[in-house]
Each structure stands twice: as structure tokens, then as C-alpha cells.
Amino acid sequence: MNTLSKLIFILCVLLLTVTPKLLPAQGTGAGDVSDVATHMHEHLSKITEIKTQIIMGDLAGVDEPATWLAEHESVTGLPDSFAPYVELMRNYAHQVVAAEDLDSAAVAVSDMARTCGNCHLVNEISVGFDDDRMPADWSDITTHMQRHQWAADRLWEGLIGPSDLAWVQGTDMLVDVPLRPTDMVDEWTANDDFVAIDEIARRVHLLGGRGTNTRTPDARGKLYGEMLGLCADCHSMLKRGPGR
């Protein structure tokens, strides 16, 4: 089995189906393949952890994974064509560490996901994710929010892949299933809070509509960053959401 074939096998085992087509392999010996695969998986794991902490509304929780991304050493054998994207990732990780609010952190991690996608695109790497079955189309609030989270996950994959299919699946779901603030707040919620949550719900629905006509990675990254910030703001106000 040659070097690139081993790399393909290892990445598949790591829950991503990554198939290099014309991936440059300068300086990558047989002994380096496992390190490169592990390095890529660690990047994805840390970026996803940052995204998850932001969705939960936990700004302090992004510090550890973002610091790791900003300061860790690159492994030996990483293809030269990855270098500019690794540097961009470090810069965005520093922005996450320095972020003073969830919205700023959301924009930076969205830029990270877009950078991953651009690297995959330039290096002609096809990335596939585990199949995540769409939640049932029921009217209860739990299922409703599961469908909303499913849509957000598809947008994330659309950026990292990059995948037009995943992106369209996510935006179609947001358009089809708008948030209902009356299902999320208690009857004694202060009027100002209700108005704010209602505005967040309206903006998320509008972003879904805008996303259906958003084609470029930069535009998609900007839209996703805005939506991620809205998710964080809503969960922070409600004091509930994923992990709460």
C-alpha cells in the first residue's frame, strides 16, 4: 500500500471519508502518514469543540481548544500546500482567544470552517461525514429544535467539506421550519426578553432564506457566523439549549 493509500485508510477510520485526488505529498514518507492523519483529525476535533461551546453560550469554554490551535506545532510531513491554510487557522484561533463576546468568537470559528473547506477544495480533497438522519417532522418543541440543530450541522459540513448538498439541506430546513418564540419562553418571560427572542427567531429564518441563494465560501462563512452568534445569544438568554 503506497503512502497516499495509507493516508486515505487512516482518515476513513477517523470518522471522515477523505479521498485525496491530486494531494501533493512533498516530504511525506510512509512513517509520517499516521501523524498527518492524526493532526488533521485533531484540528477538526478542536474546531468542532469551539463551535459547540459557542452554541452553548459558553465563551470561556472556547479558550482551551482555540489556544491549542493557535500554539501547537505542525507535524512533520504536512504537505507544503497546506501551509497557508494552517497559518490562517492560527490567526483565526488567536481571534477566538481574544474574543470578548460570543458573536466575535462565532465569526472567527466560521472563518476557520471556511478555511478548512478552501484547503480541501484547493488540494482536491473530497470530505464526507457520517450520515445523520433527519429528525421527524413533528410539532413538539424538542423535535423542532432537533431539526434546527440538524440544519445548523449541515451548514457546518457545507463549509468544511465544502459541500453544496449539505449547505442546501441546511438552508432548506431553516426555511421550512422557522423558530417559534412562543414555544421557547415561559409565560412570565419579561416583555423585553420576549421581543429580543422573537427578533432572533425572525433573523434565523431570514438567514435560511438568504442562504439558499448564497454560493461563495466567503458569503456562506459570513452567514454561518451570523447564525451561530444568534444561536449563542438565544441560548444565553433562555439559559437553556444544547448541554444546558
**pLDDT at 24 (0 to 100):** 35
Type of residue numbered 78 = L
Helix (H, G, I), strand (E, B) or coil at 128: strand
Q: Which residue has the higher pLDDT, 127 or 114?
A: 114
Average pLDDT over the chain, rounded to whole?
A: 78
Confidence grade of residue 185 (pLDDT, cut at 50, 70, 90): low
Q: Which of 72-86, 95-109, 214-228 has the lowest mean pLDDT?
A: 72-86
Contacts of 239 (CB under 8 A, 6+ apart): none
Residues 62, 80: Cα–Cα separation, whole Å: 29
- Work out the burial of residue 161: count CB atoms within 10 Å of its CB; fewer than 13 is exposed, 13-18 middle, 19 or more buried: buried
3-state secondary structure 84-111: HHHHHHHHHHHHHHHCCCHHHHHHHHHH
Which residues on adjacent β-strands are paired with residue 126?
A: 19
**pLDDT at 241 (0 to 100):** 57
Which residues on adjacent β-strands are paired with residue 20?
A: 125
Residues 219, 12: Cα–Cα separation, whole Å: 30
Domain-by-domain residue ranges, the chain?
Answer: 3-238
**pLDDT at 101 (0 to 100):** 93
CB atoms within 10 A of CB 200: 21
Closest CA to 166 of 174, 178, 156: 156
Phi, psi dihedral angles at 240 (to 5 degrees): -160, 165
Phi, psi dihedral angles at 70 (to 5 degrees): -75, -30
Q: Does 131 have pLDDT greater than 60?
A: yes
Helix (H, G, I), strand (E, B) or coil at 29: coil
Q: Which residue has the higher pLDDT, 18 or 60?
A: 60
Q: Does 2 have pLDDT greater than 50?
A: no
Q: Which of 58-72, 86-100, 128-142 has the lowest mean pLDDT?
A: 128-142
Q: Which residue has the higher pLDDT, 91 or 136?
A: 91
**pLDDT at 12 (0 to 100):** 34
Confidence grade of residue 40 (pLDDT, cut at 50, 70, 90): confident
Residues 106, 124: Cα–Cα separation, whole Å: 27
**What 8-state DSSP symbol labels residue 17?**
E
Closest CA to 242 of 128, 108, 116, 150: 150
Type of residue numbered 92 = Y
C-alpha cell at 142: 424538542
